[in-house]
């Protein structure tokens, strides 16, 4: 059976030249599916976090480039390539931190430029659709493999703390860190999850809880500032979370609050595991050059734009991500295996040829 058919939650779909997604900014109140053939609409969906999570935005960009080619009325390969490059350029400007976005766009452009040499416009369109579907399929397969590998680190009775949303809704399906939780649960391990709410946009409270409740996996929700207390009380066996960008040094950039959890995990000797596909590993950037997205002050001044919780126009700082240094990371689980310190060696080995470029 095609891997897409095995998914309980389908966050992204390709429908004859259109891209479809679950608008996760409306969950858990409304399960709305949106469809478009317009690259600008798709780019806006990524900017507004209707589609979010590093692997999901990478897959959405790949589908967006295929969509631009499929719907282009270009008559020559040169014109078609220009349309594809314009779409890629727009999608590249949506969000700066998640590496999967740039990885997927570069992969699609590389494929487009190679296929363009044949001079066949329809062939180029077909190749790009096939490549985008391959990017999507590979993401799901990577998640299922990471789930299996990561579940070996989970013991019966464990309570797993997670942050943000790393589930089906953050990927093409199944999930990264939440994929490990899913796999351990499917293996019959009696586990439970502590999910942080993840201010300001509440991906933990809205999305992780929604996914776990749907599967019947026991979950308790805490606010972000409770992590130290629950660890000090011995309530957390392991931390599993995802990543937006992992450097070869082992620096892990992920949702704001991850660094705080890592420091607390070290203090309380709780293993801190990162789960991400190799498409999240950035072999070139140095730690000091990582771009951390800063988002609108309104996200902090209000609760999801609905309730103002402070004095109007108070100055706000709203970084969407932080970076955890390698000495706080117990292991990084990828679809190619588990990397352990020292990361420059273990991650380069996992990446193989890609790390040498």
Q: Which residues bind ligand MRU (CB under 6 A)?
A: 49, 52-55, 98, 164, 166, 170-171, 176, 203, 242-244, 254-255, 320
Residue nearest to ligand MRU (CB): 242
In angstroms, what is the minimal distance from the CB of 200 to ligand MRU? 10
Looking at the Cβ atoms of 125 and 182, the one nearer to ligand MRU is 182
In angstroms, what is the minimal distance from the CB of 290 to ligand MRU? 13
Looking at the Cβ atoms of 255 and 301, the one nearer to ligand MRU is 255
Residue 198 near residue 255 (C-beta atoms within 8 A)? yes
Count other C-beta atoms under 10 Å from residue 216's C-beta.
Answer: 8
Residues with active-site annotation: 244
In angstroms, what is the minimal distance from the CB of 44 to ligand MRU? 15
Beta bridge partners of 319: 294
Tokens of 198: 């993840």
**Short-list 163, 185, 153, CA closest to 231:** 163
Looking at the Cβ atoms of 112 and 243, the one nearer to ligand MRU is 243
Question: What 3-state DSSP class applies to 273?
Answer: strand
What is the edge-to-edge ordering of all strands in the sheet holding 33-36? Answer: 12-15, 18-22, 33-36
In angstroms, what is the minimal distance from the CB of 227 to ligand MRU? 15
Count other C-beta atoms under 10 Å from residue 289's C-beta.
Answer: 9
Chain Cα centroid distance, residue 327: 23
Count other C-beta atoms under 10 Å from residue 267's C-beta.
Answer: 11
* Rounded-to-integer distance, Cα 221 and Cα 283, Å: 35
Looking at the Cβ atoms of 170 and 181, the one nearer to ligand MRU is 170
């Amino acid at each position: 059976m095609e891997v897409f058919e095995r998914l309980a939650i389908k966050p992204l779909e390709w429908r004859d030249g259109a891209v479809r997604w679950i608008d996760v900014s409306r969950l858990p109140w409304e399960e709305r599916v949106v469809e478009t053939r317009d690259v600008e609409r798709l780019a806006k969906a990524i900017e507004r976090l209707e589609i979010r999570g590093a692997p999901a935005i990478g897959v959405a960009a790949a589908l967006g480039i295929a969509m631009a080619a499929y719907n282009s009325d270009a008559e020559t390969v040169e014109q078609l390539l220009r349309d594809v490059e314009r779409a890629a350029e727009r999608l590249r400007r949506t969000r700066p931190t998640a590496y999967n976005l740039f990885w997927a766009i570069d992969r699609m452009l590389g494929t487009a430029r190679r296929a363009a040499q044949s001079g066949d416009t329809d062939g180029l369109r077909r190749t790009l659709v096939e490549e985008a579907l391959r990017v999507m399929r590979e993401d799901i397969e990577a998640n299922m493999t990471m789930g299996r590998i990561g579940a070996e680190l989970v013991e019966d009775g464990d309570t797993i703390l997670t942050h943000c949303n790393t589930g089906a809704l953050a990927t093409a399906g199944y999930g990264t860190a939440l994929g490990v939780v899913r796999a351990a649960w499917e293996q019959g391990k009696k586990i439970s999850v502590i999910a942080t709410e993840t201010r300001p946009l509440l991906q933990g409270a809205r999305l992780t809880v929604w996914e776990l409740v749907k599967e019947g996996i026991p979950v308790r929700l805490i606010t972000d500032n409770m992590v130290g207390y629950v660890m000090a009380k011995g309530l957390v066996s392991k931390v599993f979370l995802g990543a937006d960008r992992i450097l070869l040094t082992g620096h892990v950039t992920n949702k704001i609050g991850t660094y705080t959890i890592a420091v607390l995990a070290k203090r309380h000797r709780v293993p801190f595991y990162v789960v991400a596909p190799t498409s999240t590993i950035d072999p070139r950037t140095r730690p000091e050059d990582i771009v951390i997205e800063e988002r609108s002050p309104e996200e902090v001044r209000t609760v999801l734009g609905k309730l103002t919780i402070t004095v109007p126009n108070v100055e706000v700082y709203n970084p969407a991500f932080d970076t955890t240094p390698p000495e706080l990371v117990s292991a990084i689980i990828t679809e190619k295996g588990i990397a352990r310190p020292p990361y420059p060696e273990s991650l380069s080995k996992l990446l193989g040829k890609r790390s040498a470029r």
